[in-house]
Structure 1
Amino acid sequence: MSHKPIVMVSSYPPRLCGIATFCEEAREFIQKANPHREVLVISHTDGRGEGVFPLIDTTKRDWWRPVARKIEQLKPYAVHVEHEYGLYEYHDPRGVGDGNDGFLDLLEAIGHLPIVVEPHTVHGRLRDFEADFIYKLTQRSHVVLFKCHYQKWRLDWTFHGRNWPTPRNIMVVPHGARSDKRWGVHEIPALRREFGLDTIGLSDHVVGMIGWIQSNKRWDILLSMWEDIHAEIKARTGQEWDLLAAGAMRDPHHKRDYEEWKSDVQMLAGKGLAHYHEFIPRGDDYYKMMAICDFIVLPSTDETQSGTLARIIALNKPYITTAPMEGLTAQTLESQGGLLFTTKKMLRSQVIKLATDENLRLKLGENLKRYLENEVCWEVVAQQYNKAYQLARKAVRTGQPVVLEMEF
């Protein structure tokens, strides 16, 4: 039996980056699904850890050359690449980007090895650059992994409109979610104590907005209505519900919104209606903070798929999110585990509906449990990755491209 390693190419912790966190978690479960192989990572220069090679330096035009050399040395079973445009962009002295040309050069340099690429941003309506890039990406990879089915059938529509052939080497593998991060009701008081939330008067019932505080997350939408919503819920049920806004700023470009929204929460806190908790949303703390909440509101206005939603699903937490919004809407429809809104009025209605109907919360939670266990848990996703690796290896061995079924 061959024990060649699986080599991942990605950003990696301690970088505070969604793709880095994703890669760390994916690597854990790929390793469990392949106990006789090493799963190694070639990362950017700030990556750290056992089996991590920090070689990607995009301040250099030919950053991909040492990466290609290292991959050759490792003699991989398969190369699994996590892609996000910003991760591999070289900027010249004028600040002009190379349009990810270096990334495509890397794929060409290792094209004789089995290549699986997992792009994390594939919008339903592609810009010209994105469409061209995805075409070139699929030509230089043996298998390309999309997160959602809509991405695949929309690509077919987009390419037909340009009189381009639709790539047939695209496989849909959903964003993985952990199945080992669920807490029982009896365990929640201990989690509250762990974060000091037992001493600040947090109500028994909690609506959560949890995660990295970014402009596209639009916490302000719910914050602007929460006082009115709180009063309506209390009038209908007699129950006190708190809004828990917890997270931290990752990107200094979002500082203005971060400061404004934090101030808004603190104003509500002064009225006894909400609480703000600053923490780095990574690791167990991210899951524990969500576990404290009865349900989560994710009012994002720009997303193709979401690590935040993956954690919500992992915890089987009912949720409310924006629609139509790429992967957020797709996974909500597929899981039947959340409610959607498209206007402020509708968000208000959905929050009140979920807060006043415990049976609905239980039903949505059970739907998420089934969806997690049958469709998106990492144990299932890792086996789909293994299938992708096998397809890529067969393509290299036979010289025949991978041809997969169309969606529609």
Structure 2
Amino acid sequence: MSNKPIVMVSSYPPRLCGIATFCEEAREFIQKANPDREVLVISHTDGQGEGVFPIIDMAQRDWWRPVAKKIEKLDPYVVHFEHEYGLYEYHDPRGVGDGNDGFLDLLEAIGNIPNVVEPHTVHGRLRDAEADFIYKLTQRSHLVLFKCHYQKWRLDWTFHGREWPTPRNIMVVPHGARSDKRWGVHEIPVLRREFGLDNIGLADHVVGMIGWIQSNKRWDILLSMWEDIHNEIKSRTGQDWDLLAAGAMRDPNHRKDYEEWKSEVHMLEKKGIAHYYEFIPRGDDYYKIMAVCDFIVLPSIDETQSGTLARIIALNKPYITTAPMEGLTAQTLESEGGLLFTTKEMLHRKVVKLATDEELRLELGKNLKRYLDHVVCWEVVARQYNEAYKLARKAARTGQPVVLDLEL
């Protein structure tokens, strides 16, 4: 039994997908926490790498059948699913989706094998289809992992309102963040030179908007007021602060916003107060570009959890983000490492406040270091995964469902 592998089911690089990147990083630390086991991945057909089986073909209605057969053949210690609705949605020739029925069929097919499902989108206010899916998911899984505590207590409220029993096999495990990507102040000049940022005239102090350029990220909010913010900071401190907008488009459906926002940055660039840097937000470059910033603005308006925020936390970078906004707000309150805004005027005030108060930036950074080291670093999260695996295995062995305490 000690040699049985841990099998993850997920999208996987080189796919440009947040879940794929998450799985790659989670796999690294699950492997470190389980040196006596292989950690294998069953991925979509575009996944690649050692120990990766790219067999999920969403063009097939019964895509889940070969996945179930592969899982049975691998005879795993546990199966760990990364779930996002779009990853497992089959569309028929009319373009009509199946509501992730194939994913539920897969869980039923491997019901005797210990399994853990980690859904990456669990809204606080569930739509009817989402509530139905979560109910069916918890019935077919040995253990379900939510990212935030609010998701669990909101689910209790939602299910009570529908007169449904509240699932008790839900465990909260936060989005992991790396603890090995922190650069000291003395190392930042090297990073700036590495990306040629000194050559483009980037100021000594930098506000960053970094990551995939998507419509929900709403870069336009800060871009529309940056000139006024820049001038106010300059008048108060005498310091030049630049806005660094860095990233790339991932989804062609967001091309219109991508082009418009990039154009706005270029207009600010001509005034010498902002810069655009195009790069693929993956790997070390993602962390390094963020590291050169004094703080980050993440003005997202639809986010239940965020890989971008995980990187911000990994770097202990003070940040400003939208509220009330699901996991962004929850982690900001729990970490005490960022500021929140809910109107344009508030965003203006908070950016100026953070730029003009170095002590506040240091305090928020220290809070994030504490939160990273003790709550969300991958080493801690991997130990929680291992506890989840044990619970799932016990449920599979005994036939007795996992029963955990409610949140509130």
Deviations 1:261-320 (A, max 9, x none): 000000000000000000000000000000000000000000000000000000000000
Residue 116 (structure 1) aligns with: 116
Measure, in 2, the Cα distance between the counterparts of 1:100 and 1:398.
Answer: 28
Q: Is the aligned partner of 1:258 residue 2:258?
A: yes
**Equivalent in the alignment of 1:199:** 199
- The 5-angstrom pairing of residues 40-55 of structure 1 reads 40-55=40-55
CA distance in 2, matches of 1:122, 1:89: 16
Q: Report the equivalent of 1:326.
A: 326
Once the two structures are superposed, the pairs formed by residues 18-167 of structure 1 within 5 Å of their partners are 18-167=18-167
**2:239 matched to which residue of 1?**
239
SS at match of 2:95: coil
Residues 191-210 of structure 1 deviation map (CA, whole Å, 9 limit, x = unaligned): 01111101111000000000
| 1:214 is aligned to 2:210 | no
One-letter amino acid of the counterpart of residue 124, structure 1: G
Which residue matches 2:378? 378
> Following superposition, which runs of at least 4 residues in structure 1 exceed 4 angstroms of deviation?
none
What's the counterpart of residue 11 of structure 1? 11
Structure 1 position 364 matched with structure 2 position 368: no
- Which residue of structure 1 lines up, in the alignment, with residue 249 of structure 2? 249
CA distance in 2 between counterparts of 1:162 and 1:108 reads: 25
For 1:147 and 1:331, the matched residues in 2 are separated by 10
* Structure 2 gap ranges (5+): none
What is the CA RMSD across the aligned residues, in angstroms? 0.4
Q: In structure 2, what is the equivalent of residue 355 of structure 1?
A: 355
Deviation at 1:397, TM superposition (A): 1.0
In 1: Cα distance, 2:59 partner to 2:237 partner = 58
Q: Provide the C-alpha distance between the structure 1 equivalents of 2:372 and 2:22, rounded to a whole number of angstroms.
A: 17
Structure-2 separation of matches of 1:291 and 1:332: 19
SS in 2 for 1:224: helix
Matches within 5 A, 1:164-313: 164-313=164-313
Deviation, structure 1 residue 381: 0.1
2 CA distance for matches of 1:247 and 1:255? 13
SS in 1 for 2:216: helix
Q: Deviations over 1:332-372 (max 9, x none)?
A: 00000000000000000000000000000000000000000
Q: Which amino acid aligns with 1:350?
A: K
Does the residue aligned with 2:221 lie in a helix, a strand or coil?
Answer: helix
In structure 2, what residue type is equivalent to 1:329? T
Distance (Å, rounded) in 1 between the aligned partners of 2:306 and 2:72: 33
Provide Cα deviations, 1:173-193, integer angstroms capped at 9, x if missing partner.
000000000000011011011
Deviations 1:137-167 (Å, cap 9, x if unpaired)?
A: 0000000000000000000000000000000
How far apart, in 1, do the equivalents of 2:25 and 2:314 lie? 13
For residues 94-118 of structure 1, the C-alpha deviation after alignment (integer angstroms, 9 at most, x for no partner) is 0000000000000000000001000
Give distance in 2, aligned partners of 1:341 and 1:202: 26
Distance, in Å, in 2 between the alignment partners of 1:243 and 1:399 is: 56
What amino acid is the match of 2:204?
A: D
What letter matches 2:138 in structure 1? T
1:317 aligned counterpart, secondary structure: coil
Equivalent residue, structure 2, for 1:407: 407
Query: How far apart in 1 are the matches of 2:41 and 2:254?
Result: 30
Task: State percent identity of aligned pairs.
Answer: 87
Q: Partner amino acid for 1:180?
A: D
TM-score by length of 2: 1.00
- The yes-or-no answer on 1:343 pairing with 2:319 is no
Deviation for aligned residue 1:3: 1.2
CA distance in 2, matches of 1:292, 1:73: 47
Aligned equivalents of 2:333, 2:213: Cα separation in 1: 25
- The DSSP-based 3-state class of the residue aligned with 1:265 is helix
How many angstroms does 1:2 deviate by? 1.5
Q: Once the two structures are superposed, what CA deviation does each residue of 1:226-245 show, in whole Å capped at 9, x if it has no partner?
A: 00000000000000000000
- Give the Cα–Cα distance (whole angstroms) in 2 for the partners of residues 286 and 111 of structure 1: 39
- Structure 2 partner of 1:397: 397
Letter in 1 for 2:368: L
SS in structure 2 of the partner of residue 199 of structure 1: coil
- TM-score, normalising length from structure 1? 1.00
- Where 2:264 maps in the other structure, the secondary structure is helix
Q: Give the corresponding residue for 2:315.
A: 315
